Structure 1
Amino acid sequence: MTEGRAPGGPAAPSGVASARPALGTPCWVSLTAHGPTAAQEFYGELFGWEFRAGPRQLGPYVRALLDGREVAGIGRLPADRHLTVAWTPYLASDRVDATADTVRLCGGTVGVGPLDAGDAGRLAIGSDPSGAVFGVWQAAAHLGTAVTGVHGTPAWHELVTYEAAGVATFYETVFGYGRQAAKPADTDHVPLLVDGRPVAGVRGLGALPRDRGPHWVTYFEVDDADEALARIVGRGGRVLHPVRDVAHGRVADVADPEGARFALIQRSC
């Protein structure tokens, strides 16, 4: 995962989304799993999620809810495709077809779509030049994650790759992100800015595990990181890097029973 590094985002207050997300803002995150029913049980126990059927155009797919508000999605991996079980962030676009064209022009690929998800919106799934997979979401009835800043909600998204600057340029070109004027000399980290505010980050590690190339990591908010780790292990998940203190709180890298990797963050008060 992040090899012991801290997420680059600022502490985020809780809130309820009510407006269309700005271009490039991470607005949704979705898990593709071999056993979506088992995944619902695991994440329902961990985060307190309940579930509701999603657009039928996406196959067996459900939306996770907290107090009736949509938080994330879980779908099934096609049995005939050898894909990685993973959480995938979706970045907002006003015109997903044009964004998909720009992804291709900038050296990325588009593997799924663009396609309609009923009246919810329109999506595409692609990969950047380093191979990291991400989604693009053009909202219609479904604006994306509806609540943030509480237990069980996405808190931050970070791309872990070999070298940050080149890949960050790809995302800046496709989504129009701003770039910070300066960064600490001892880190290879590029925040992706929307209206001057970091919404995600790109971190270069130089080397990555042999079994895991460049990939996006989603951090989920938890009230108690230690308790969450105990629940993960008790339900068949794994701790990849134990809890450690960082500038924004306490974080840990974990994997669910199928191997989908994600991170936890317990915010500082």
Structure 2
Amino acid sequence: MNHNAPVSGGPRTRDVLSTHSVFGAPCWVSLTSRDLEATQDFYSAVLGWRWRGAKLGEHFRIALADGVPVAGIAAVAAMWQMAVAWTPYFAVPDADVAVSRVRERGGTAAVGPLSFPPGRAALLADRDGATFGIWQGELVGNWEAWRRASPTFIRLHTRDAFDAALFYGEILDWASGKPGCCEVEYEGGEVVLRSEGDIVARIDSGAVESAPDPSVRPHWQIHFAVADVTGCARAAEKHGGSVLSENEDEAILRDADGAQFTVTSRRLR
């Protein structure tokens, strides 16, 4: 889970989120790894990140892009028997309500909600097994600065995009008509999530007319915006990672620890 969430003091968590425009949208990404130093070296080389400590302890770091907090790193995969993976977190007004909704709809609550002042977090899985998190409380820095600085968007690869959209929509109040909620559209065979007009997530299961594909292993893929896709791919290979696919505008990479992520050209934003 996102053990790198904000750790400074703040107002009561149930009151904080109302001051933000984020509602049901991705608000943070976190990586669980086995080796903190190796992870820092890899992402410094590939994405140019710098680092600062987190008050939760020596196993945690906050990644910075041009001084903006963009991701959390927790070197706890072996210690806590967790998978090495990137996980997106969605902002919610009430973590307990969100977790209850997940369970009611056939999902799984793996961890939490747990308190990480000034907020609360939980690590969950949808009914097809894709892992995601929720965060209730004050956000890390400025949300607009965060999403402009690093993630382009997140994409859920799943067996049935329409079913997944219904699941997440009911959990996160997408297209609910509530002020500030995310809007859902269908574009080019994908479900597209927009927040304040910007695309912040996509859900993909292949061609709309196709039956659900049982071979797909559902997962959320994090897309980081970069200036040089080719340069990132070569840096990943040089520092112990691998390139799963690559073209001029996008490359799917695997870090030295096995976590998968995507770099996408800033020109596509």
Match of 2:234 in 1: 230
Asked if residue 193 in structure 1 is aligned to residue 199 in structure 2, the reply is: no
Match of 2:37 in 1: 37
Asked if residue 171 in structure 1 is aligned to residue 168 in structure 2, the reply is: yes
Mapping of residues 1-269 of structure 1, within 5 Å: 20-56=20-56, 60-79=59-78, 81-119=80-118, 121-140=119-138, 142-143=140-141, 146-150=145-149, 153-178=150-175, 180=184, 182-184=186-188, 187=189, 189-194=190-195, 197-205=198-206, 206-207=212-213, 213-244=217-248, 250-268=249-267
Separation in 2, partners of 1:104, 1:59: 33
Q: CA deviation at 1:37?
A: 1.7
Q: Is the 8 A contact 1:55 1:117 kept in 2?
A: no
Q: How many residues align?
A: 237
Query: 1:227–1:208: structure 2 CA closer, same or farther, 3 Å change rule?
Result: farther
Query: 1:130–1:59: structure 2 CA closer, same or farther, 3 Å change rule?
Result: farther
- The structure whose residues are more often helix, as a share, is 2
CA deviations on 1:207-252 (whole Å, 9 max, x unpaired) are: 476xx721000000111111111111111111001124xxxxx111
Separation in 1, partners of 2:66, 2:185: 40
Query: 1:216–1:106: structure 2 CA closer, same or farther, 3 Å change rule?
Result: same
- AA paired with 1:92? A
Separation in 1, partners of 2:167, 2:225: 28
Separation in 1, partners of 2:198, 2:54: 31
SS across alignment from 1:27: strand
CA deviations on 1:156-199 (whole Å, 9 max, x unpaired) are: 10100112111110001111112656544xx3x21123456532
TM-score, reference length from structure 2: 0.80
Q: Is the 8 A contact 1:241 1:252 kept in 2?
A: yes
Match of 1:247 in 2: none
Q: Is the 8 A contact 1:177 1:194 kept in 2?
A: no
Worse-matched range after superposition: 138-147 or 158-167: 138-147
Match of 1:16 in 2: none
Q: CA deviation at 1:21?
A: 4.6
CA deviations on 1:112-167 (whole Å, 9 max, x unpaired) are: 11111133x211110000000001011226357543434xx111101001121111
Q: Is the 8 A contact 2:87 2:131 kept in 1?
A: yes
Q: CA deviation at 1:265?
A: 0.6
Separation in 2, partners of 1:122, 1:135: 11
- AA paired with 1:202? I
Separation in 1, partners of 2:263, 2:137: 27
Tell me, which stretches of 5 or more residues in structure 1 are unaligned? 1-18, 245-249
Worse-matched range after superposition: 92-101 or 135-144: 135-144
SS across alignment from 1:129: coil
Q: Is the 8 A contact 2:27 2:89 kept in 1?
A: yes
Separation in 1, partners of 2:58, 2:109: 19
Match of 2:12 in 1: none
